[in-house]
Amino acid sequence: MEVEAHNRAMLRLVQAVQELSLARTLERVMEIVRTVARELTGADGATFVLKDGDKCFYADEDAIEPLWKGMRFPLTACISGWAMLNRDNAVIPDIYQDPRIPADAYRPTFVKSLAMVPIRSSAPIGAIGNYWARHHHPDPQQVALLQALADTTSVAMENIQVYAELERRVEERTRDLEEANRSLESFSYTVSHDLRAPLRAIDGFSSMLEPGPYKDRIQQAGQRMSSLIENLLDLARYARAEVQRRQVDLSALAAQIAGRLNAAIHIEKEMKDECDRELLSVALENLLSNACKYSSKQPEPRIEFSRLSRDSQTVYFVRDNGAGFDMQRAEKLFTPFQRLHTQSEFPGTGVGLATVHKIITRHGGSIWAESAVGQGTTFYFTLSTPPVLAWNSPVLSTPAPAPATAGSE
Ligand SMILES: Nc1ncnc2c1ncn2[C@@H]1O[C@H](COP(=O)(O)OP(=O)(O)OP(=O)(O)O)[C@@H](O)[C@H]1O
Ligand SMILES: [Mg+2]
């Protein structure tokens, strides 16, 4: 082989290696290999043969005239089988002079000479064939090029299996998770729904009791149970709600909520984003009412809703100067019924932040908190999936541990 032709072939081989490394299906691998195999040696045809049990399967070809595409022959009765069984290449300048060639299968074809290399020499899974319409003696360099291509092909084929297996496992896990989530959600929905009826009965009958401390306590407990159920129902409802994104004026939304809560809240102007208005209204109402509740014992409560930019992503935050909490317990924040304060300190059901977390993660965003006892609290949230490496940013301290972030559902 001339030096120049050899260099060209080497370049083509490198290119093929790159293409093969990106291939994700067997079809794509075959497509690359059959064309490159021909180009590397200037052959008139190339075949891609797969080992299929004790048969050779001529899976694909690229040639001046049809060869054996789609056909199967016993491993022992064809030259690709010979290459696989002997884990060696076969170079045949004149096919009619070689006893390994079944001449009858070749007579209808243009083939006069050939070179065949096994794919994966250690335990062949196939073979690549090159064919010439004239008498040609493939030189060792050409055969070496073909063998290099075959070796890369075997790596590419193994990769495809690994990818397929990984994909299958990811799909399986996702399905299981989705299934578990769905049944959990419908379970909690049904439970809360079915709890309402007996609760109404308790409430109804207790109202017939003579007035007194027991009646009051039964009715208070009933009311508490009722708000727990309402909140659980909300949580289940928002977990299932579809996110309908459109342009929402978050500043205006927060101002409305502040009006309802009758609270003085400093709201950054003109905060607009693509999100689900109804869901965001629920989330903001929870965050802002928490900020009000947990700062209500301050002589001068200060509450702020604003935003900052981190790694070209908008991070919204609700900040208060209230009671705060111990960051060691932060991982409980978003779990239903987990509370960091007692009923006598600050009343509540402990479902609000679980609902907020659901809503934010449904948007593809994350939510986390920064706080210290007596030092106030800031809740940060985003409304979309972060750009790569966003979590690595030095601008903010890292998000709270696993349960606080979006990916940790
Ligand atoms: N701004 C805040 N400052 C201090 N602690 C907070 C703040 N927001 C939430 N927390 C803590 O997190 C816990 C969970 O909050 P969440 O909103 O889920 O429940 P809640 O406010 O107790 O009840 P509700 O379901 O009525 O909202 C609270 O009980 C409280 O201990
Ligand atoms: Mg709350």
Task: State phi, psi for 254 to the nearest 5 degrees.
Answer: -65, -35
**What does the pLDDT read at residue 1?**
64
Pair type for strands 303-310 and 266-267: parallel
What domain range includes position 115? 3-166
Whole-number Å distance, alpha carbon 56 to ligand 1 midpoint, is: 68
Q: 383 phi and psi, to 5 degrees?
A: -120, 10
- Measured in angstroms, how far is the CA atom of residue 338 from the centroid of ligand 2? 11
* Amino acid occupying residue 392: N
How many angstroms separate the alpha carbon of residue 350 from the centre of ligand 2? 6
How many angstroms separate the alpha carbon of residue 287 from the centre of ligand 2?
7
pLDDT band at 394; cut points 50, 70, 90: very low
Q: Are residues 159 and 298 in the same domain?
A: no
- Residues 63-89 have a mean pLDDT of 95
* DSSP-based three-state secondary structure for 243: coil
Which of 353, 368, 371, 377, when mutated, tests ligand 1's pocket best, judged by the most ligand atoms within 8 Å of its CB? 353
Q: What is the pLDDT of residue 388?
A: 55
Residues 158 and 250 in one domain: no
Q: Are 322 and 373 in contact (CB under 8 A)?
A: no
Domain contains 368: yes
pLDDT at 230: 85
**How far, in Å, are 8, 14, 19, 115, 126 from residue 145 at the CA level?**
11, 11, 16, 11, 17
Classify residue 222: in a domain, yes or no.
no
**288 and 141 fall within a common domain:** no
* CB contact at 8 A, 134 and 112: yes
CATH code assigned at 126: 3.30.450.40
Note whether 14 and 144 are same-domain residues. yes
Per-residue pLDDT at 392: 42
Atom of ligand 1 nearest to the CA of 324: 4
Cα-only R_g, the chain: 35
- Domain assignment present for residue 366? The answer is yes
Mean pLDDT is lowest, of 52-61, 104-113, 174-183, 365-374, for 174-183
Sort 376 into a burial class: Cβ within 10 Å, 0-12 / 13-18 / 19+: buried
Per-residue b or e along 65-80, where b marks 16 or more CB atoms closer than 10 Å to that residue's CB = eebbeeebbebeebbb
Residue 127 · residue 118 · CB < 8 Å: yes
CB atoms within 10 A of CB 320: 26
* Smallest CA separation from ligand 1 atom 5, residue: 324
| Same domain (yes/no): 160, 37 | yes
Total domains in the chain come to 2
Is the domain of 7 the same as that of 153? yes
Instruction: Identify which of 290, 298, 325 to mutate to test ligand 1's pocket (most ligand atoms within 8 A of the CB).
Output: 290
339 C-alpha to center of ligand 1: Å?
A: 6
Q: Has residue 198 been placed in a domain?
A: no
119, 148, 166 - which closes a domain:
166
Q: What is the DSSP string of 218-237?
A: HHHHHHHHHHHHHHHHHHHH
Q: Are 257 and 295 in contact (CB under 8 A)?
A: no
From CA 93, how far away is CA 139, in angstroms rounded?
10
Distance 290 CA to ligand 2 centre (A): 5
Q: Are residues 264 and 119 in the same domain?
A: no
Whichever domain contains 257, its CATH number is: 3.30.565.10
Whether residue 287 lies inside any domain: the answer is yes
Asked if residue 186 is part of any domain, the answer here is: no
Q: What is the mean pLDDT of residues 69-91?
A: 95
Are residues 150 and 268 both part of a single domain? no
Per residue in 109-161, pLDDT tens? 999 999 999 999 889 999 999 999 999 998 898 899 999 999 999 999 999 88
- Counting ligands in written order, the one closest to the CA of 350 is 1
In tens, the pLDDT along 240-260 reads: 788 999 999 999 999 999 999
For the chain, report the end-to-end CA distance as a whole number of angstroms.
Answer: 61
pLDDT at residue 188 tops 90? no
Co-location of 155 and 22 in the same domain: yes
| Closest C-alpha residue for ligand 1 atom 31 | 340
Q: Which of 166, 189, 208 is the last residue of a domain?
A: 166
DSSP conformational letter for 148 = H
User: What confidence tier does 194 reach under pLDDT thresholds 50, 70, 90?
Assistant: confident
Using the predicted structure, report yes or no on whether residue 186 has a pLDDT greater than 90.
no
Distance 192 CA to ligand 1 centre (A): 21
Across the range 345-361, mean pLDDT stands at 93
What is the C-alpha to C-alpha distance for residues 236 and 333, in angstroms, rounded to an integer? 18
Res. 395 pLDDT band, cuts 50 70 90: very low
C-beta of residue 273 within 8 angstroms of C-beta of residue 248: yes
Q: Which residue has the higher pLDDT, 109 or 228?
A: 109
Q: How confident is the model at residue 275 (pLDDT cuts 50, 70, 90)?
A: very high
Indicate which atom in ligand 1 lies nearest the CA of residue 227: 26
Nearest residue (by CA) to ligand 1, atom 9, is 290
Average pLDDT over residues 374-380: 97
Predicted confidence (pLDDT) at residue 339 exceeds the cutoff of 60: yes
Q: Whose CA is nearest to atom 26 of ligand 1?
A: 348
What does pLDDT average to over the chain?
Answer: 90
Q: Of 6-10, 193-197, 331-335, which one has max mean pLDDT?
A: 331-335
Percent of the chain with pLDDT over 70: 94
Q: What percent of the chain has pLDDT over 90?
A: 67
67 or 397: which carries more pLDDT confidence?
Answer: 67
| Inside any domain, residue 183 | no
Ion ligand 2: residues, CB < 5 A: 290, 352
Residues 387 and 251 occupy one common structural domain? yes
Instruction: State the pLDDT at residue 387.
Output: 65
- Among 166, 200, 234, the domain boundary falls at 166
pLDDT of residue 225: 87
- Report CA(327)–ligand 1 centroid distance (Å): 13
pTM of the model: 0.59
Residues 160 and 19 occupy one common structural domain: yes
Q: Which band of pLDDT confidence, cut at 50, 70 and 90, is reported for residue 6?
A: confident
Is residue 393 predicted with pLDDT exceeding 80?
no
Residues ≥6 apart with Cβ < 8 Å to 32? 16, 19, 20, 23
Residues 177-199, mean pLDDT to the nearest whole number = 83
Asked whether residue 255 is assigned to any structural domain, the reply reads: yes
Same domain, 161 and 13: yes
Within 6 A (CB) of ligand 1 lie 231, 286, 290-291, 294, 320, 322-325, 333, 339-341, 348-354, 377
Per-residue pLDDT averaged across 382-406, rounded? 53
